[in-house]
Amino acid sequence: METKKSIRNLFWKASNSDTSSAMDLIEKTSKNLMSSLLIWIL
C-alpha cells in the first residue's frame, strides 16, 4: 500500500514538472525498482 502511494506520488510529481525532469525521475524510479526486484529475486 505504501509503495503504491509513493509510486503514485512520483508520477504525480513527474507529470506536474517539466518533461525532461519528469523523464529523469521516471528513469531513476524504474532503475531503483529494477534493482530492488533483482535483489529480492536473488
Instruction: Look at residues 33, 26, 34 and name the one whose alpha carbon lies nearest to residue 10.
Output: 26
**Model pTM above 0.85:** no
Q: Residue type for 21, please?
A: S
Query: What would the mean pLDDT of 13-37 be, rounded to a whole number?
Result: 78
pLDDT, position 33: 86
User: Is the Cβ–Cβ distance between 29 and 7 less than 8 Å?
Assistant: yes
* DSSP state for residue 18 in the 8-state scheme: -
For residue 17, the 8-state DSSP code is: S
User: What pLDDT score was predicted for residue 17?
Assistant: 61
Q: What mean pLDDT is predicted for residues 1-28?
A: 74
| Residue found under cell 502511494 | 5
> pLDDT at position 32, please?
87
d(CA 39, CA 36): 5
Band (pLDDT 50/70/90 cuts) for residue 19 is: low
Delimit the domains of the chain by residue range: 2-41
